[in-house]
Amino acid sequence: MKEITRKIESGARITAEEALRLWREAPLWLLGQLADGVRRRKNGDALYWNRNFHIEPTNVCAFACRFCSYRRSAGDSEAWDLSIDQMEEIARRYIGSGVTEVHIVGGVHPAHDLWFYTELIRRIKALLPEAAIKAYTAVELAYMIRKAGLSIEDGLVELQKAGMQAIPGGGAEIFDPELRERICPEKGTAEEWLAVHRAAHRLGIPTNATILYGHAETLEQRVDHLMRLRELQDESAGTSAGGGFNAFIPLKYRARGNSMGAAGEVSVVEDMKMLAMSRIVLDNIPHIKAYWVMYGKSVAEMALAFGADDLDGTIDDSTRIFSMAGAEETAPRLTVGEIERMAEAAGLKAVERNTFYERQEPQRTI
């Protein structure tokens, strides 16, 4: 344990075997101390956030993942399927608001194709030219691009032309194939998810990465997931395009409203371990995000002592994905004042960023 600790403190990379031992044997205070040290070496005393909102085109989905509380069948009373005009109106509300990112993810609608989604991006970009469009999970992208009969790379180029500038990290779930077969058998494979992000990185499109943890997975499967992401980031760093993972977001499984709910949820202690180990293992991914919408504000604030340096954004009550699954924040909205207070309590400085982690000049508070 002392040798593993020395490696981390010196900035050396740990192996999968060392990660497993650390996860199982290290006390929580040590994990926090080590992760906080890595965070401070990478990001100093910065706590990053941005002004963003979400558009969720639909919760109708071609897949039926066992952990999902968001998906509805077409015709269900809780289903929605927004038109491009309706989503354009959502974006119109934010003209002049100072938002720097529009985050677009939803279900994999069987009737929507690549051209539907490129038109959506064009219209939103025309309304909010100053905001980056971060759109569609790898699962959505693979489906819409395959439906269009294009290669992944050619499909991403079409989305780039329309105005897509970054890709979120959703849909990764757990990469282990046997577990994936149990919890999301219809969804694309881990190799497909990685291939979409690999192609995006080659095109210079920055992306995020996630893990869904706290359901049926083992520690070995969590570590394997982190290692595959670390390997892809190493590979992407060797390209000249400038793409790669900007941030990693551990997503906690929430038990309400899905067929796996009987298993319950892991503790806050386990949440902190997941965050800390993510920061320690993923030595080549710049940022670890404590997604406050999922954790709740108080737990997200605690996460700042366990390696997290980013809270995501203001959101403005524009997402339902986690609230439908029982997350703490049922009407998610975070003000600049709240962010600044959270940073101060953690001994950090709130830094407004854009999608690409470029620091922004201070604006009026919202």
Average pLDDT score over the chain = 93
Q: What is the pLDDT of residues 146-200, one digit of tens each?
A: 999 999 999 999 999 999 999 999 999 999 999 999 999 999 899 999 999 999 9
List residues bridging with 211 in a β-sheet: 250
Phi, psi of 247 (to 5 degrees): -150, 155
User: What is the SS3 string spanning the chain?
Assistant: CHHHHHHHHCCCCCCHHHHHHHHHHCCHHHHHHHHHHHHHHHHCCEEEEECEEEECCECECCCCCCCCCCCECCCCCCCCECCHHHHHHHHHCCCCCCCCEEEECCCCCCCCCHHHHHHHHHHHHHHCCCCEEEECCHHHHHHHHHHCCCCHHHHHHHHHHHCEEEECCCCCCCCCHHHHHHHCCCCCCHHHHHHHHHHHHHCCCEEEEEEEECCCCCHHHHHHHHHHHHHHHHHHHCCCCCCEEEEEEEEECCCCCCCCHHHCCCCHHHHHHHHHHHHHHCCCCCEEECCHHHHCHHHHHHHCCCCCCEEEECCCCCCCCCHHHCCCCCCCCCCHHHHHHHHHHCCCEEEEECCCCCECCCCCCC
* Per-residue pLDDT tens digits of the chain, which is 366 residues long: 999 999 999 999 999 999 999 999 999 999 999 999 999 999 999 999 999 999 999 999 999 999 988 899 888 998 999 999 999 999 999 999 999 999 999 999 999 999 999 999 999 999 999 999 999 999 999 999 999 999 999 999 999 999 999 999 999 999 999 999 999 999 989 999 999 999 999 999 999 999 999 999 999 999 999 999 999 999 998 765 668 999 999 999 998 889 898 889 999 999 999 999 999 999 999 999 999 988 999 999 999 999 999 999 998 877 766 566 555 655 678 999 999 999 999 999 999 999 999 999 876 544
Phi, psi of 16 (to 5 degrees): -60, -40
The full set of domains in the chain, from first to last, is: 2-352 (3.20.20.70)
Q: What is the pLDDT of residues 348-359, one digit of tens each?
A: 999 999 999 999
Question: What does the DSSP 8-state code read for residue 257?
Answer: T
What does the chain come to in residues?
A: 366
Task: Supply the pTM of this predicted model.
Answer: 0.94
Closest listed residue to residue 103, CA positions, set 289, 303, 283: 289
Using CA atoms, how far apart are residues 302 and 312, in angstroms rounded to an integer?
A: 15
